[in-house]
Structure 1
Amino acid sequence: MSVMERLNQDLKQAMKDKAAIKLSVIRMVKAAIKNEEINKGSLLSEDEELSILTRELKQRRESLQEFEKAGREDLAEKIREEIIVLTSYMPAQLSEDEIRQIATEVISQVGASSKKEMGKVMGAMMPKVKGKADGNLVQKVVSELLPS
């Protein structure tokens, strides 16, 4: 089942359950996907839909940090609930050990031997973990594995 199909089903259920935050988040994601489809001129692939979800999740996490810094617990709590809803549409996340294993393989494939080649490693690594791992964690692991 595609992300859009799942969103449509969950939208109906959220309306029946009167789940305001879930309803709001689903509508926002559907609108973002529709806008992207209009800009592209065709339907989006699963990967493109996943990219939109990832982008929305990243925005929420950044907002959460800002609200927590500002001491706005009321807004932070709402964002936490939105993050939970968005996370439910994401694929299972890779553990740090799994990321480390993939990074080791990629480093040997691209022949990277220092941190100067981190961009090359990250470029090859991100498509393999797209939507399954946080970019900051991937960067941290790759940085640890590459010698200075």
Structure 2
Amino acid sequence: MSLENQLREDMKQALKSGEKDKLTTLRTTISQVKDERIRLMRDLTDADVITVLTRAVKSRKDSIEMYQKGNRQDLVDKETKELEVIQAYLPEQMSEDDVKKELVAIIEATGANDAKDIGKVMGQAMSRLKGKADGKLVQQLARTLLSS
């Protein structure tokens, strides 16, 4: 079953079981998937759906950060619940150590040796780690490795 169909099935289950928060989150997410399908003018692969889900996770994390700065714990809790629902559909994220190992291999393969080569490293890294690791973490680790 495709990831998109899994989202739809889980939305039906949430509707039947009365899980309002999960239902709202899944409806929003399915709407974003539909928008992406219209934008690309083709059926979406699971990789495309994962890209949409990753964007949704990033958006929720940014919102949580902003709400924490504004001392809005009620909204932080709401966004955190939505984040948990969406993350359940994403592949397991790599640990920081695993990301670091991949980056070391990429740096050696590209011959990068200073911070000026961050573009080469990030291009390779994001193609290999897309959906498996957070882009901010990858960039932060790449900068650290290249500056040392």
Query: Which TM-score band applies after superposition, normalised by the shorter structure?
Result: over 0.9
2:132 is aligned to 132
In the TM superposition, residue 147 of structure 1 has moved relative to its aligned partner by 3.1
In the TM superposition, what whole-angstrom CA distance separates every residue of 1:45-93 from its partner, at most 9, and x where no partner exists?
A: 1111111000011000000000010011111110000000011011001
TM-score by length of 2: 0.96
The 5-angstrom pairing of residues 84-103 of structure 1 reads: 84-103=84-103
2:66 is aligned to 66
Structure 2 letter corresponding to 1:144: T
Distance 1:77 1:147 in 2: 37
Aligned pairs, number:
148
The 5-angstrom pairing of residues 36-75 of structure 1 reads: 36-75=36-75
TM-score by length of 1: 0.96
In the TM superposition, residue 39 of structure 1 has moved relative to its aligned partner by 1.9
Distance 2:2 2:105 in 1: 30
In the TM superposition, residue 16 of structure 1 has moved relative to its aligned partner by 1.4
Question: RMSD across aligned C-alpha pairs, in angstroms?
Answer: 1.0
2:25 is aligned to 25
Distance 1:42 1:100 in 2: 35
Structure 1 letter corresponding to 2:103: A
2:35 is aligned to 35
In the TM superposition, residue 35 of structure 1 has moved relative to its aligned partner by 1.1
Amino-acid identity (%): 38
Distance 1:145 1:20 in 2: 45
Task: Indicate the SS of the match to 2:77.
Answer: helix
Task: Indicate the SS of the match to 1:146.
Answer: helix
Distance 1:46 1:5 in 2: 10
Gap runs ≥5 in structure 2? none
In the TM superposition, residue 17 of structure 1 has moved relative to its aligned partner by 1.4
